[in-house]
Amino acid sequence: MKSTFFYIAVFCLLSACYSCQDNAVAAFPANSKDFMPVGSYAFKTGDGWGYAITVDNKIFIKQSIIPCIAGEKSFASQADAEKVADLVLTKIKTHQKPSIFKSELEKLGIAE
């Protein structure tokens, strides 16, 4: 009798979790107009690459030089610009300041 009660309790708990998950997805669909789309792209500069962060299809950040280093040097490659843009996007999506630190550039393998 106790094992039957246990299985019923587990079934009810799992059903409740599943139904809450479905409601959350329905209440906040990925393509909802309540959310602004956030994106990024790399662009060519005169001597290298930069990146732009867009919010609601409008430029929010346009970074043509490598942040937090001395001088005004562009990224050496499109891939480097995209790595930093991805980091900035992650920060924005997790409600952090989109600031970049030299230690983060080093971690991404981006040289001055």
Please write the tens of the pLDDT for every residue from 54-76: 988 999 999 999 998 888 999 99
Q: Note the pTM of the prediction, 2 decimals.
A: 0.67
Phi, psi of 81 (to 5 degrees): -60, -40
Q: What is the pLDDT of residue 87?
A: 96
List pLDDT tens digits, range 11-55.
333 333 333 333 222 223 455 555 788 899 999 999 999 999 998
DSSP 72: -
Higher pLDDT, 2 or 87: 87
Amino acid present at 41: Y
Burial 37-50 (b: 16+ CB within 10 A, else e): eeebebeeeeebbb
